[in-house]
Amino acid sequence: MKVISYNVNGIRAAIKKGFVDWLENSECDIICLQEIKANKEQFDLNLFSEIGYNYNYWFSAQKKGYSGVAILSKHKPKHIEFGTGIKHMDFEGRNLRVDFDEISIMSLYLPSGSNIQRLDYKFQYMKEFKEYILKLKDDIPNLVICGDYNICHNAIDIHDPIRNAKVSGFLPSEREWLTDFMSLGFTDSFRHLNKDPDKYSWWSYRANSRVNNKGWRIDYNLVSDSLNSRIKSSSILDQVFHSDHCPIVVELNL
């Protein structure tokens, strides 16, 4: 099973930039999207069914043009879970999960800490999300959480760890949370197979950051440790340009 995670920074904008043609050629089974910034009534869903993604699920934020996640699949899930049941999380459309017989896949959009109020909210979300997943793993041991975590885990995951040490996304407390979260029984599929530096998934639109590869690796496909031996490959598609993020891929032998 080939799974892609991609923060598209607006699905309608990405479609205009050739997203559908790219997706058709990606040969992925499932793609998890974040920051769709739209309701499904605002674009043509047939674009995806026409290329084989007959099962597509959209969980938009209540606020128009904001946040939101989706999962597009070529395979029919046995269950779809919209949200977490935690009201403030679900209001912003940040979690969506599909369950299959052998595996469950979640699309996650963790908040950014763009200002002090949002940073406080980010930590609230992180705390409650960790508690939610801890309980969920009792029922769903084979879980892949794909998404934009808005956190660089280690110095290798950011272009300038010294200057960014006090910036949200690379704060020690955020990085510690990600370490603790993975200790629940998750593997960073990319770092599991790739130890090279200068591999990023997001670049600021400012100062030619992408051209100069001044990026951050804040998107992850975290795989339950129970699936470790089934990770076939994991990669970052940094030559795909529909967004300020790029897609990340994990292939699993199921």
The DSSP H or E segment spanning 130 is helix 116-139
- Single-letter code of the amino acid located at 158: I
Per the CB < 8 A criterion, the answer to whether 67 and 92 are in contact is yes
pLDDT, residue 22, reads 98
Q: Which residues on neighbouring strands pair with residue 158, listed in sequence order? A: 216
For the annotated catalytic residues, the residue numbers are 148
State yes or no: pLDDT of 189 exceeds 90: yes
The count of C-alpha atoms lying within 13 angstroms of the C-alpha of 246, restricted to the half-sphere facing its C-beta, is 20
Distance CA 147, CA 186 (A): 14
pLDDT, residue 161, reads 98
- The domain that holds 175 is classified in CATH as 3.60.10.10
Domain count, the chain: 1
Range of the domain at 26: 2-252
SS (H, E, C) 146-191: EEECCCCCCHHHECCCCCCCCCCCCCHHHHHHHHHHHCCCEEEHHH
Q: Per-residue pLDDT tens for 19-66?
A: 999 999 999 999 999 999 999 999 999 999 999 999 999 999 999 999
Torsion on CA atoms 122, 126, 132, 138, rounded to nearest 10 = 160
Q: Per-residue pLDDT tens for 122-177?
A: 999 999 999 999 999 999 999 999 999 999 999 999 999 999 999 999 999 999 99
pLDDT, residue 114, reads 87
Query: Max CA-CA distance within the chain?
Result: 47
Q: Per-residue pLDDT tens for 78-115?
A: 999 999 999 999 999 999 999 999 999 999 999 999 89
Q: What is the pTM of this model?
A: 0.97
State yes or no: pLDDT of 228 exceeds 90: yes
Q: How confident is the model at residue 181 (pLDDT cuts 50, 70, 90)?
A: very high
Q: Per residue in 113-130, is it b (16+ CB within 10 Å) or e — as a string?
A: beeeeebebbbebbeebe
